Structure 1
Amino acid sequence: MEITDRTFPAALVALSRIDFPWDYDEKTEEAAPGNIDYEPYQEFDSAEETTDWIRAWTGNKELDGDAFRVFGQDGTGGLAVSWLVRPGQPLAEQPVAFFGSEGEVGIVARSLGEFLWLLAGGVGPQEAVEFGADGGVGHDELRAVAEKYSGIEPRTPAEVLAAARAEYPEFAATVQSWCR
């Protein structure tokens, strides 16, 4: 079953209403503890925008964006996406990946519910790919969203990332194989 629906899930609508913490110290050129470099969208990118993005990111004009739903970004333009790789499963059960603006790539959660717990633990998709689960500071408002919409028991960022990496250890190599 192909997922063709582009209806934004309630969980992502809830995330789009949150002001994500971001504080940057220009003197030290570091983000303050507890920051999450994530800017939620209010809707998925269109099919055309998604196709344009994956083609530009990989240099592969044969790809289309049907396997992805782009739903957020970081401050550099890296994208948080659902990867529609599980046939017959709804969007909420698809893994969440991050494609960075400088070529960073990785699966950050096995499902949208686990992604909510990653954020609730203070770790955004870019931080998860580049730095792992360390340094996250829990966020009460994000925890409330995870509790309401995840449909799963609480998880720590370390648990979310370990499970995602165990299930999709070859994701970066798969993406590299798409690149031209």
Structure 2
Amino acid sequence: MEQTRYQVRFDWAAAGAHAIGADADVIVWVDALPESGSELDLSTLPQGPAVVFTDLSSAHAVAQWVIDLQVKLAKRILIAVVAAGSTRNGQLRVTTEDLLAAGAVIDQLAALGLDATSPEAAAAEAAYRGLARATSHLLTAVTTTATTAPEPEQLKVNTALTAADVRVVRA
């Protein structure tokens, strides 16, 4: 297990989920701009943790959902924030949009008091914080959106969403 000293961890794709999430209480699967036909395959993830899905818009709601879970379980929980990335020629392609969305989740978790982050998570959070004002523009300009423009609601954190709006893939 990697990043085991930290409450909030970060890595990429299914392999990263196994590296940081097998002992986690929850995996936050981040896919800022899901490609059609690229549904999350739960069989590729560690079997124990709850799994929630987020994009940039629901980062705040997911962070609140995680806090609510910690309160419900009455213990310090472990969170694996996993950026989906994409593939190119069968290999992982690290995507700017997923890095920024994952950083937004980590930033929202920190704002709610969960700041025992791994260096990897801190770097993703710093990327988001440093580029937060430009995130909407960046998400419309990345390679992924060359053929399909994202919807306006995908371009920023929506603080009106609540934990009840979170897409729980596995409880």
Please, what TM-score do these two structures have when normalized by structure 1?
0.32
Bigger proportion of residues as helix = 2
Please, what TM-score do these two structures have when normalized by structure 2?
0.33
Higher relative contact order (CA 8 A, sep 6+): 2
